[in-house]
Each structure stands twice: as structure tokens, then as C-alpha cells.
């Protein structure tokens, strides 16, 4: 018992701090030599060292956290020769990496640094000469050393030879790492090309992003989750991949749990900057409900990266990479690859969305043109009819009664006015489409009268509905573009009429109020029609947007956008409240004359 605690104490006090340095250990793992079989490239050098320096033992020792591993060993006694490692209690090499200088020992038994090292007793290490193995990046991985069982005064020439040989060892290590990195980079280039191909394959980005997530694992990460940011700013997970498919549902569950926490993924989405998921998966620092920690353990997750997907300067989503290893530092080319991946995915999402918008706009425009040409046909028919009538009478040399003629011209004039109105509306819509402002022609108008007149006209066209107007005051004067405000009212009234498919009451009420900004009229149009599903409400003022419950009811989805556009250009506001199956109320606020 005493013996063991004595050993432990010795280990604690003699192991230099650099041995446990995280960056050094990361570099050691990255060299990918621990626990690999012996190889001729290294054995040749150890053999050569024993021969040239006439020493019984030579080692390429890599110093791990709590052991030294021999990538090559010549002349070690058993069981060490087969085990190819010893605990640090038996390591001289740890001191070599601590100093970063050659360590030359004539007689270990009397050397202050190692006189109590167990290698003296167990491995018969008496004389030792070791050169630290320091990579091109400056990480000390271990040492190249020769050992003798007798005290020995190493000559300067011998140390020089040892240095030359150890330079070959480190060159071999660096070369391997460079080759591996080059191979990894080539794989990443291949991967990015493949990602581009997958993304270009289809405009259905949800499917393509799932394929992309599958490509990410395991080359770039052990798990991958892709979220897209919807138009309303909400985040939606669209893809998830893990090395084992059974892990995918666990990752999904975990990432949704993350949402309730101060979430690095949300932060990446908000700030448009890469965020590391450090400490997220630690029990002590768990950002989410501790009940999810069992998933973290099961998946063995250690770290992660949340990379925003940015296209055309807006954030369309976040790619989250999850790792089963601690990643304090990511290889620069992996980070570049991750950003490149996120950029390509972002462009694909953005293009697919733009394509969708363009396709809908084209569809809506075709629809609008079809409806417009259909609507123009009615007044054209009237004009044609009356012109034909007059022509017939002239042909038959009938006397043309002035009363009849006046009536005909009045109808023709009415039809022409209607066409002009419709064409003006089309021109306005095309301005709206182009994002231009309207040139309004203001005139002082009694809005109560305008509302009453418009409601009366619409009532004539909707015999199954009962339209009524209630006004707090008999007259309310404001400065408006009458044609445009009338168009706003017509749009709201026709909506209330057509979306109240079973007829019913439609109430228009007017009220006036004042606030710091001036006097206002509030016009409310209320119906008891089909209403609008809650999910559609946030987008209902968007051009060409139609709710999900309008099946069979004709429309282009431009009316409310026009309403909002005209009202805001008058310095007013519009709001809509609706419950599906109950009804809709649209409220306009327009400024009144002072
Ligand atoms: P149009 O361009 O011919 O007016 P539209 O009526 O479909 O076509 P909007 O007036 O912009 O377009 O309305 C957009 C959508 O809002 C409608 O498609 C419908 O889903 C919903 N909506 C608007 N007003 C009402 C209402 N009063 N009741 C129920 N749904 C409505
Ligand atoms: Mg409409």
C-alpha cells in the first residue's frame, strides 16, 4: 500500500506540466501515431542509432497524458517490448519534452532529475541521451533516445548523430501529417464539389439539405443539423445526420431542447457569425434542461460549431456541426470548408426561395392579366352593343331620337370610365410591383360621404349581403386621393362580400379621434365570413399571398397589398383581425384635416 502511494506521489511531483498541455496533446492526437503498429520507416532509424552509437536500446517515444508510447523500440526487455508503452513513472522522455533540449545522462542513478525513476530498476536504464521530437508547428510530441545499461559519457559527436537521426524521425512525422492533411483537403474539395452538385440537383431545398447533411458526416463532423430561418424569423430544423441513423432522432431532440436555452445556434442566426458550442455538453455548464444530458452521454458529444448560412447579406439558416471530440481549435481548412459549405447551402436556399417567389409572381401576374382582360370585356361589350345599335338605326335611316342617343352615349361613357378605372388600377399595381411610390392627387373630401357612396354601389352588386354604414359624425373631412381611397374601400368591401360565401351582414363603421400626431378617422369593415386561418395571418398583406381556405374563390392576392400601400402613402395604417370560420375585421386609420 505504502509502495503504491509512494509511486503516485513521485509521478505527481515529477511529471512536468507541459506533458498535460491540451494543445500539445491535441497535436499528438493529430499526428495519429499513438497505438499504431511498428513501421519500418521508424524502426530503420532506431536500428541505425543502436548500431552507430553502439547502444543496446533506442526508442521513438511519444509522451501521452499518462504514458509513453513507443512508435519504435529496439532492445527493450519484455514485457515492455511487446507492450510498447510504459507509465510515465518509467519515462525519461517526459523531461526531454519539458526542456525542449537534448537530455544527456551519464548515470541515472545519481542524476537529480531521474534518480528515483522506475525505469532504472525495471528497464535497466542507466545512461540516456534523448532529443525532443518537435514538429514544424512547435509541438513537442516525445523524444528520440538511446539507452545504455552502463554509465556512459556520451560524446559530442554521438549527440550530433542522434540529432541528425531524430531530425529524420521528425521529418517523417511532419511528412505524414502534411500528406494526411493534403489528402483531407482533397477530400474536402471533392466533398464541396459533391455538395454543389447535390444542391444544384433540385430546387426542393429541404430534400437537398438532407442529402448535404449526410455528406457532412463523418468527413467534417460526427453530427450535422441544418435549420432554416423562415420569413417570420422563426427557425425550423430541416435536416439532421449522424454516423448512426439511430442517433439522428436523438440529435433532433437535443437540438430542439437547445432552443429553450441561451442558444449558440440562435445567436449564430441572429449575429450572422460562427459560434462555438463550448461547454454546451458539459454537465456542469449544460445550457439546456439536464434531462437531456443522457442523450449527450449516449452520443458522446463534446463540442460543436454553429455556422450561419448567409446569402445576399441575409441569414437564411444555420448549419450546426457536432463533434464527439473536444475541439478547442479547428483546423483552418476545416473552418474554411464549413463556411464554404454554409455559403453554398445558403445560396441554394435563397435561390430556391427567389425562384419560388418569381414563379408565384408570374402565376399571379398571369392570373391578374386573365382577370383584367375578363373584366375589361364587360364594358367593351357595352360599348360595342350601343355602337352597333346606333349603327343599325343609321343604316335603316331611322330617325335618331335625341333622348335615345343621349342614353346610349351615357352608357358608353360609363363603360369607358369603368375601363379607364380598371386600366388605372392595373398601372397602379404595376407601380406597386416595381416598388415605386404613387403620385397622389389630394383633394379635401368628406370621407363619410365617400364611404356611404361606395358601400351603396357595392350593395347593388351584392344582393345576398346586407351592407350598412354607421358613423359617429355626419361629416369627416380629410385630404385624400379620392380614386385611390375609393379603391381601398372597394377592395375591402369586395373581400368581405366574396369571402362571406353564405351572404350575411357587413358593417362599416367610422369614428374620429385625436392623438399627439393629429386627428384621425378609423374605418372598420367587419364581416362574418370564412375568416383567415391563424397560420396565414402574418403574411396576409404580402403581394399575391392567399390564405389556405380560399378554394374555389377567385382572386389574385393583390388587393390587401394595394390597400396597405395606398393607406401608408396617405400617412395612415391598416390592421386585420380574423378568426377562421368566424369573420374578419379590417381597420383603417387615415389622417383628418386639422
Ligand atoms: P384580389 O387581388 O382579387 O383582391 P384576393 O382577394 O385573393 O385577390 P387580397 O384581397 O389581397 O387578395 O386578400 C388576400 C387574402 O386574404 C385572400 O386571398 C384571402 O385569403 C384573405 N382575405 C382577405 N380579406 C378577407 C376576408 N374579408 N375574409 C376572409 N379572408 C380574407
Ligand atoms: Mg381581394
What is the atom index within ligand 1 of the atom nearest the CA of 561? 11
CATH number, span 356-433: 1.10.287.130
CB atoms within 10 A of CB 91: 28
User: Is 349 close to ligand 1, i.e. is its CB under 6 Å away?
Assistant: no
Cell digits of residue 442: 389630394
User: Is 500 close to ligand 1, i.e. is its CB under 6 Å away?
Assistant: no
pLDDT of the residue at 284: 55
Q: Which helix (H) or strand (E) holds 238?
A: strand 235-242
Ligand nearest to the CA of 529: 1
Cell digits of residue 266: 440562435
Distance of alpha carbon 208 from alpha carbon 197, whole angstroms: 10
Q: Do domains 3-180 and 200-343 have the same CATH topology?
A: yes
Q: How confident is the model at residue 451 (pLDDT cuts 50, 70, 90)?
A: very high
Lowest mean pLDDT: which of 248-257, 287-296, 379-388, 572-581?
287-296
pLDDT of the residue at 234: 84
pLDDT of the residue at 52: 96
CB atoms within 10 A of CB 122: 14
More confident residue, 437 or 354: 354
CA of 496 to the centre of ligand 1 (A): 8
Lowest mean pLDDT: which of 4-13, 83-92, 189-198, 429-438?
4-13
Characterize the bridge pairing of strands 67-74 and 504-515.
unpaired
Distance of alpha carbon 506 from alpha carbon 496, whole angstroms: 7
Lowest mean pLDDT: which of 397-401, 405-409, 445-449?
397-401
More confident residue, 329 or 414: 414
3-state secondary structure 305-321: EEEEEEECCEEEEEEEE
pLDDT of the residue at 10: 42
Q: How many residues does the chain have?
A: 594
Q: How confident is the model at residue 9 (pLDDT cuts 50, 70, 90)?
A: very low
Helices and strands (H and E) in the chain: how many: 17, 18
pLDDT of the residue at 484: 94
Residue 3 pLDDT > 50, yes or no?
no
More confident residue, 62 or 298: 62
Residue 40 pLDDT > 60, yes or no?
yes
User: Is 562 close to ligand 1, i.e. is its CB under 6 Å away?
Assistant: no
Q: What percent of the chain has pLDDT over 90?
A: 57
What is the atom index within ligand 1 of the atom nearest the CA of 500? 28
Cell digits of residue 376: 375589361
SS3 content of the chain, % helix, strand, coil (to 5): 50, 20, 30
Q: Is 102 left (phi over 0), alpha (psi -120 to 50) or beta?
A: beta
Across 277-290, average pLDDT = 61
Short-list 444, 469, 445, CA closest to 458: 469
Characterize the bridge pairing of strands 103-105 and 127-134.
antiparallel
Which residues are registered as beta bridge partners of 74? 58
pLDDT of the residue at 258: 65
User: Is 55 close to ligand 1, i.e. is its CB under 6 Å away?
Assistant: no
Q: How confident is the model at residue 472 (pLDDT cuts 50, 70, 90)?
A: very high
pLDDT tens digit sequence for 510-538: 999 999 889 999 999 999 999 999 999 99
User: Is 550 close to ligand 1, i.e. is its CB under 6 Å away?
Assistant: yes
Cell digits of residue 281: 455538453
Distance of alpha carbon 141 from alpha carbon 93, whole angstroms: 10
CA of 557 to the centre of ligand 1 (A): 6
Instruction: Using the Cα atoms of residue 152, residue 156, residue 162 and residue 166 in order, give the sign of their dihedral.
Output: positive
User: Is 223 close to ligand 1, i.e. is its CB under 6 Å away?
Assistant: no
Q: What percent of the chain has pLDDT over 70?
A: 93
Distance of alpha carbon 93 from alpha carbon 96, whole angstroms: 5
Across 459-480, average pLDDT = 96
pLDDT of the residue at 305: 86
Q: How confident is the model at residue 269 (pLDDT cuts 50, 70, 90)?
A: confident
Across 42-46, average pLDDT = 97
User: Is 521 close to ligand 1, i.e. is its CB under 6 Å away?
Assistant: no
Residue 250 pLDDT > 90, yes or no?
no
pLDDT of the residue at 370: 82
| CB within 8 Å of 27: residues ≥ 6 apart | 135, 137, 139, 141
Cell digits of residue 189: 474539395
Q: Are 285 and 264 in contact (CB under 8 A)?
A: no
The answer, as to whether pTM is greater than 0.75, is no
pLDDT of the residue at 56: 97
Domain ranges of the chain: 3-180, 200-343, 356-433, 443-591
Q: At 86, is the secondary structure helix, strand, or coil?
A: strand
pLDDT of the residue at 168: 96
Fold assignment, 200-343:
Beta-Lactamase (3.30.450)
Which protein residue's CA is at the shortest distance from atom 23 of ligand 1? 495
Pocket mutation for ligand 1, best pick of 433, 499, 504, 538 (most atoms within 8 Å of C-beta): 499
Distance of alpha carbon 425 from alpha carbon 431, whole angstroms: 10
User: Is 143 close to ligand 1, i.e. is its CB under 6 Å away?
Assistant: no
Residue with cell 532506431: 46
Residue 38 DSSP symbol: P
Fold assignment, 3-180:
Beta-Lactamase (3.30.450)
Q: Are 318 and 271 in contact (CB under 8 A)?
A: no
Distance of alpha carbon 457 from alpha carbon 451, whole angstroms: 10
Across 251-279, average pLDDT = 72
pLDDT of the residue at 232: 77
Residue 208 pLDDT > 50, yes or no?
yes
Average pLDDT taken over every residue of the chain: 88
Cell digits of residue 92: 525519461
Lowest mean pLDDT: which of 113-127, 225-239, 514-528?
225-239
Across 566-571, average pLDDT = 94
pLDDT of the residue at 242: 87
Characterize the bridge pairing of strands 504-515 and 465-471.
parallel
* 458-496 CB burial, b ≥16 within 10 A, e <16: bbeebeebebebebeeeebbbbbbeebbbbbbbbbbebb
CA of 559 to the centre of ligand 2 (A): 4
User: Is 499 close to ligand 1, i.e. is its CB under 6 Å away?
Assistant: yes
Residue 491 pLDDT > 80, yes or no?
yes
pLDDT of the residue at 6: 38
Ligand nearest to the CA of 541: 1
Cell digits of residue 510: 367610422
What kind of architecture, by CATH, is found in domain 443-591?
Answer: 2-Layer Sandwich (3.30)
Amino acid at each position: 500500500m505504502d509502495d503504491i502511494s509512494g509511486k503516485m506521489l513521485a509521478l505527481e511531483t515529477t511529471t512536468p506540466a507541459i506533458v498535460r498541455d491540451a494543445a500539445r496533446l491535441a497535436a499528438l492526437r493529430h499526428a495519429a501515431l499513438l497505438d499504431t503498429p511498428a513501421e519500418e520507416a521508424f524502426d530503420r532509424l532506431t536500428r541505425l542509432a543502436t548500431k552507430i552509437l553502439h547502444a543496446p536500446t533506442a526508442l521513438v517515444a511519444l509522451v501521452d497524458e499518462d504514458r509513453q508510447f513507443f512508435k519504435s523500440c529496439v532492445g527493450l526487455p519484455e514485457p515492455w517490448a511487446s507492450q510498447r508503452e510504459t507509465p510515465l513513472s518509467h519515462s525519461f522522455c517526459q523531461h526531454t519534452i519539458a526542456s525542449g533540449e537534448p537530455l544527456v545522462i551519464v548515470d541515472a542513478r545519481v542524476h537529480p532529475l531521474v534518480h528515483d525513476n522506475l525505469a532504472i530498476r525495471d528497464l535497466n536504464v542507466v545512461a540516456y541521451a534523448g532529443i525532443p521530437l518537435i514538429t514544424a508547428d512547435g509541438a513537442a510530441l516525445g523524444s528520440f533516445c538511446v539507452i545504455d545499461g552502463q554509465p556512459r559519457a556520451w560524446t559530442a559527436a554521438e549527440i550530433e548523430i542522434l540529432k541528425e537521426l531524430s531530425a529524420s524521425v521528425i521529418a517523417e512525422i511532419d511528412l505524414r501529417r502534411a500528406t494526411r492533411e493534403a489528402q483531407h483537403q482533397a477530400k474536402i474539395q471533392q466533398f464541396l464539389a459533391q455538395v454543389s452538385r447535390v444542391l444544384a440537383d433540385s430546387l426542393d431545398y429541404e430534400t437537398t439539405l438532407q442529402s448535404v447533411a449526410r455528406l457532412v458526416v463523418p468527413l467534417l463532423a460526427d453530427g450535422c443539423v441544418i435549420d432554416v430561418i423562415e420569413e417570420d424569423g422563426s427557425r425550423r430544423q430541416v435536416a439532421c445526420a449522424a454516423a448512426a441513423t439511430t442517433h439522428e432522432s436523438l440529435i433532433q431532440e437535443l437540438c430542439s431542447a437547445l432552443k429553450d436555452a441561451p442558444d449558440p445556434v440562435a445567436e449564430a442566426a441572429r449575429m450572422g457569425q460562427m459560434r462555438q458550442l463550448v461547454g454546451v455538453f458539459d454537465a456542469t455548464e449544460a445550457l439546456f434542461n439536464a434531462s437531456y444530458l443522457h442523450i449527450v452521454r449516449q452520443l458522446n458529444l463534446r463540442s460543436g460549431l454553429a455556422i450561419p448560412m448567409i446569402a445576399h447579406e441575409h441569414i437564411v439558416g444555420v448549419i450546426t456541426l457536432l463533434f464527439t471530440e473536444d475541439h478547442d481549435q479547428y483546423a483552418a481548412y476545416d473552418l474554411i470548408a464549413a463556411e464554404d459549405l454554409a455559403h453554398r447551402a445558403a445560396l441554394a436556399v435563397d435561390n430556391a426561395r427567389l425562384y419560388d417567389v418569381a414563379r408565384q409572381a408570374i402565376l399571379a401576374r398571369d392570373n391578374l392579366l386573365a382577370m383584367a382582360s375578363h373584366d375589361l370585356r364587360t364594358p367593351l361589350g357595352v360599348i360595342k352593343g350601343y355602337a352597333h345599335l346606333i349603327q343599325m338605326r343609321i343604316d335603316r335611316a331611322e330617325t335618331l331620337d335625341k333622348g335615345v342617343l343621349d342614353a346610349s352615349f351615357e352608357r358608353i361613357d360609363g363603360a369607358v370610365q369603368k375601363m379607364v378605372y380598371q386600366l388605372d388600377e392595373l398601372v397602379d399595381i404595376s407601380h406597386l410591383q416595381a416598388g415605386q411610390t404613387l403620385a397622389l392627387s389630394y383633394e379635401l373630401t368628406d370621407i363619410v360621404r365617400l364611404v356611404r357612396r361606395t358601400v351603396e354601389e357595392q350593395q347593388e352588386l351584392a344582393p345576398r349581403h346586407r351592407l350598412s354604414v354607421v358613423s359617429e359624425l355626419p361629416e369627416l373631412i380629410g385630404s385624400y386621393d379620392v380614386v385611390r381611397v375609393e379603391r381601398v374601400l372597394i377592395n375591402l368591401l369586395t373581400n368581405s362580400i366574396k369571402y362571406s360565401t353564405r351572404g350575411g351582414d357587413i358593417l362599416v363603421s367610422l369614428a374620429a379621434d385625436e392623438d399627439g400626431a393629429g386627428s384621425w378617422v378609423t374605418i372598420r369593415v367587419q364581416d362574418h365570413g370564412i375568416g383567415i386561418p391563424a397560420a396565414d395571418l402574418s403574411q396576409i398583406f404580402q403581394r399575391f399571398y392567399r390564405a389556405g381556405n380560399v378554394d374555389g374563390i377567385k382572386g389574385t392576392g393583390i388587393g390587401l397589398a394595394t390597400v396597405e400601400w395606398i393607406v401608408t402613402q396617405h400617412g395612415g395604417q391598416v390592421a386585420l383581425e380574423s378568426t377562421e370560420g368566424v369573420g374578419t375585421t379590417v381597420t383603417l386609420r387615415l389622417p383628418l384635416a386639422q
